[in-house]
Copies of this chain bind each other. A is one copy, B any other.
Amino acid sequence: MQDIVKDLFIKNDKKIVLLVMDGVGGLPREKGGKTELETANTPNIDALASEGECGLHLPIGFGITPGSAPGHLALFGYKPTDYPIGRGVVAALGIGFPIQPGDVAARVNFATRDEQGRITDRRAGRIPTEKCAELCELLSSISIPGVELFIEPVKDYRAVVVFRGQGLSDDVEDTDPQATGVKPHDPKASSPKGEKTAQIVGEFIRQGLELLKDRQPTNALLMRGFAELPHIPSMQERFGLDSLALAVYPDYKGVSRLVGMDVVEDLRDLDAQARALKDNWDRYTFFFVHYKYTDSKGEDGDFDAKVGEIEKVDKFVPRILELKPDVLVVTGDHSTPAVMRAHSAHPVPFLLHAANLRPDATTEFGERSCSRGVWGVIPGVKLMPLALAAAEKLAKFGA
């Protein structure tokens, strides 16, 4: 499938907008009730659903709960299992760090530990980014022979560290225990290849803890998502698209860079995203617009707030439509039901809006209504070929 698309793409000026409400899929709050999306008042998106084709997509596969990066790769038309990418790489790309082949990147959380070394807060009271930057500066004095070290703030309590040197490997397990009341894990190699790197990480943590020891509440370091840069062909190579990402959060800028998208920096909200979309409209053929807070509120377990975030996106939709995109896809990268407070494996509603479609009976954008749309349940990676076809960007296969 992927190779067919690669051989068939046609460049034209038609414009595709992919609007992603992160974690939009949900679940009923109570038996017999509606999901977040079914509850939200979304007249603009519903109108698109009425005029378009609807369905549900499975970002990775049946029963598989997607992480953010693979969920987005699927939406971008890349089979996620073909391109495993670690959190560390996503984080490094997200802040624009020029990560190189052979580098090993990892996510760092500043955290709080008690006197016995047990983690009491995995996020150190959600310190502000400025504080995080200060701590990264402090940790920059760490020195390990034979390794170049970069430690950079990401957002709030989150940072990224990149190890550069000969013979490194990302075969190192997380030190983050993903729980409080326990000590962090020691960095452990997951294969013999990772042993050297695990030792280096151990030394990094030892020196780091020493530097942080009087820095309550940020007196601990948790590391996860050790990763090297994978090779992924660009959206240009694969689909002939000039693509632009309009995302507020670093991780989504990161995964966009991974597929060769240009990225607009310093977008703070939907209004800024709308303006950037308009300003860049003539220069690109594919626009990825990402909205994070639907997922955040789902992870917080706040059903009503997630409903509110969906309604904010609905009010933003006319600003996309003003620009008259040839194809508009509205969907999510995974489900984050508020009742589960986490990503889930449930399929994700989507709508495809363009000329030359077969509008189905779905007139509301929701999980159950989309399941009755023309497409039923399809793999997430197939949305991109559908969008390309709707934009007349794919040639006939065979004579």
Contacts and interface: CB of A to CB of B under 8 A. Distances in A.
A67 B397 CA distance: 5
Given A358-B27, A358-B28, A377-B375, A395 B344 contact: no
A62 B90 CA distance: 28
B356 A398 contact: no
A35 B357 CA distance: 10
A80 to B, nearest CB: 7
A35 B385 contact: no
A337 B356 contact: yes
A27 B374 CA distance: 13
A4 B386 contact: no
Interface in A58-73: 60-71
A63 B87 CA distance: 31
Contacts of A90: 399
Nearest to A227: B399
Interface stretch (A126-134, A142-150, A301-309, A360-368): A360-368
Contacts of A367: 358, 374
A96 interface: no
A389 interface: yes
A396 B32 CA distance: 27
Contacts of A386: 62-63, 345
- Point out which of A31, A345, A378 has the most chain B C-beta atoms below 10 A from its C-beta: A345
Interface range, A side: 35 or more
Given A35-B358, A358-B35, A65 B395 contact: yes
Contacts of A5: 63-64
Contacts of A35: 358
Contacts of A388: 63
Contact of A376 (B81, B377, B395): B377
A346 interface: yes
A199 B397 CA distance: 27
Given A371-B374, A374-B377, A389 B339 contact: no
A86 interface: yes
Given A62-B382, A62-B385, A356-B339, A69 B399 contact: yes
Interface string A80-108: 11001111101000000000000000010
Given A375-B377, A399-B87, A399-B90, A394 B64 contact: yes
Contacts of A63: 5, 382, 384-389, 394
A368 B361 contact: yes
A158 B386 CA distance: 33
A56 interface: yes
Contact of A66 (B64, B371, B397): B397
A182 interface: no
Contacts of A27: 356-358
A353 interface: no
Contact of A399 (B67, B345, B359, B398): B67
A8 interface: yes
Contacts of A320: none
Interface string A130-163: 0000000000000000000000000000000000
Nearest to A61: B1
14 contacts: A31-B51, A61-B385, A63-B388, A64-B397, A65-B389, A65-B395, A67-B399, A85-B398, A87-B398, A88-B399, A360-B371, A367-B374, A372-B372, A374-B377
